[in-house]
């Protein structure tokens, strides 16, 4: 592993990524945050693991302090994750991916299985089109007061077209944020976040292209990396999408956490760690 814990840089196309290594001397775990085009928000999850694992997380491209330039496509995001492992000196690692990061983890696994000890996929955008994206939008709308939901939908449509501003995208996220949780009226405050509309729109276009090519549907059945899915029973991405993804991977397991939305480590503390420990035995 990298000799110096703390912040480090990984060189990539277009510049470098800012990454952090924390924890003890245990096996390496790489965390992939969601988005795409969003700030890393996984420090609390890393904190659950640091006593037993060497935890790596990084700011994905598109948002400072990492490079804000593209290309914003699946292939580049996969290469970026490998660059972080290389910069940390981690020949092999467990990977935890959340939301879009869970979708990315599946692409990483099929392209670089030799670098992975196992994958924990937390409430992901699924592998089978459209991965639950349509249900996500509908459910967030239903969980949001109508006038606010209309405003969020307008802003999101602008972002998907690459026309919105970062301020508008963050406004949209703040509106729908409570709907990501099992009890929206008890949702924690929106964390401070940065966002790249360009990265969001272009990366999601790449996701859609891979759905059309059936990349994961065709590749996951040959994967032989231990995998477990942690799904929120009350997530706006219904568990059926994660279950369908798990069914593509030989030997993959899944856990549906009750009273849990889109962020399992926040609403069911320890659930992601237990899944990691299960595949690490």
pTM of the predicted protein model? 0.95
Residue 32 pLDDT exceeds 90: yes
Question: What tokens were used for 224?
Answer: 């032989």
Structural domain of residue 175, as residue ranges? 133-186
Same domain, 180 and 221: no
Residue 82 pLDDT exceeds 90: yes
pLDDT range class, residue 235, cuts 50, 70, 90: very high
Same domain, 272 and 157: no
Please state whether beta strands 28-32 and 15-23 pair in parallel, antiparallel, or not at all (unpaired).
unpaired
Residue 1 forms part of a structural domain: no
Residue closest to 94 by CA, chosen among 51, 54, 50: 54
Number of domains in the chain: 2
CATH assignment at residue 69? 3.40.50.1820
Same domain, 21 and 50: yes
Same domain, 110 and 63: yes
Same domain, 138 and 113: no
Question: Contact at 8 Å (CB) between 118 and 94?
Answer: yes
pLDDT score for 281: 87
Grouping H, G, I as helix, E, B as strand and the rest as coil, residue 234 is coil
pLDDT tens for each residue of 110-124: 999 999 999 999 999
Same domain, 107 and 175: no
Q: How far apart are the C-alpha atoms of 148 and 170, rounded to whole Å?
A: 14
What percentage of the chain carries pLDDT values higher than 90? 90
Residue 257 forms part of a structural domain: yes
Residue closest to 159 by CA, chosen among 222, 97, 202, 220: 202
pLDDT score for 163: 77
Region 62-82: mean pLDDT is 98
pLDDT tens for each residue of 135-177: 999 999 999 999 999 999 888 888 777 778 889 889 999 999 9
pLDDT score for 25: 80
Residue 232 pLDDT exceeds 50: yes
Residue 193 forms part of a structural domain: no
For the chain, what is the mean pLDDT?
A: 95
pLDDT score for 5: 72
Residue 194 forms part of a structural domain: no
Same domain, 65 and 31: yes
pLDDT score for 69: 97
pLDDT score for 1: 43
Same domain, 255 and 179: no
Question: Contact at 8 Å (CB) between 177 and 187?
Answer: yes
Name the DSSP class of 188.
P
Residue 209 forms part of a structural domain: yes
pLDDT tens for each residue of 247-273: 999 999 999 999 999 999 999 999 999
Residue 108 pLDDT exceeds 60: yes
Distance (Å) of CA 82 to CA 10, 70, 196, 226: 10, 16, 22, 18
Residue 191 forms part of a structural domain: no
pLDDT score for 160: 74
Name the DSSP class of 38.
B
Same domain, 152 and 267: no
Residue that has been written with the tokens 């929120």 in this structure: 232
Residue 196 forms part of a structural domain: no
Question: Contact at 8 Å (CB) between 181 and 142?
Answer: no
Same domain, 38 and 173: no
Same domain, 28 and 51: yes
* Burial of 186: CB neighbours in 10 Å, binned 0-12, 13-18, 19+: exposed
Residue that has been written with the tokens 């510049």 in this structure: 15
Residue 3 pLDDT exceeds 70: no
pLDDT score for 2: 44
Same domain, 89 and 16: yes
Residue 118 forms part of a structural domain: yes
pLDDT score for 24: 79
């Amino acid at each position: 592993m990298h000799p110096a814990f703390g912040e480090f840089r990984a060189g990539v196309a277009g510049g470098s990524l800012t990454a952090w290594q924390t924890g003890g001397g245990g096996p390496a775990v790489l965390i992939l945050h969601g988005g795409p085009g969003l700030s890393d928000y996984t420090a609390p999850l890393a904190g659950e693991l640091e006593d037993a694992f060497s935890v790596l997380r990084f700011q994905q491209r598109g948002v400072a302090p990492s490079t804000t330039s593209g290309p914003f496509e699946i292939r580049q995001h996969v290469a970026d994750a490998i660059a972080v492992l290389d910069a940390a000196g981690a020949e092999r690692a467990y990977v935890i991916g959340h939301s879009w990061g869970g979708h990315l983890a599946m692409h990483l696994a099929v392209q670089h299985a030799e670098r992975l000890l196992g994958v924990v996929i937390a409430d992901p955008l699924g592998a089978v089109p459209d991965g639950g994206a349509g249900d996500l939008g509908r459910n967030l709308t239903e969980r949001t007061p109508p006038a606010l939901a209309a405003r969020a939908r307008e802003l999101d449509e602008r972002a998907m077209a690459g026309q919105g501003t970062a301020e508008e995208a963050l406004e949209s996220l703040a509106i729908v944020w409570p709907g990501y949780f099992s009890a929206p009226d008890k949702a924690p405050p929106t964390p401070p976040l940065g966002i790249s509309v360009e990265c969001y729109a272009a990366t999601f276009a790449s996701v859609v292209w891979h759905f059309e090519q059936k990349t994961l549907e065709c590749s996951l059945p040959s994967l032989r990396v231990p995998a477990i899915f942690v799904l929120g029973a009350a997530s706006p991405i219904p568990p059926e999408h994660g279950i369908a993804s798990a069914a593509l991977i030989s030997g993959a397991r899944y856990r549906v956490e009750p009273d849990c939305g889109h962020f399992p480590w926040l609403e069911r503390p320890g659930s992601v760690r237990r899944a990691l420990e299960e595949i690490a035995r």
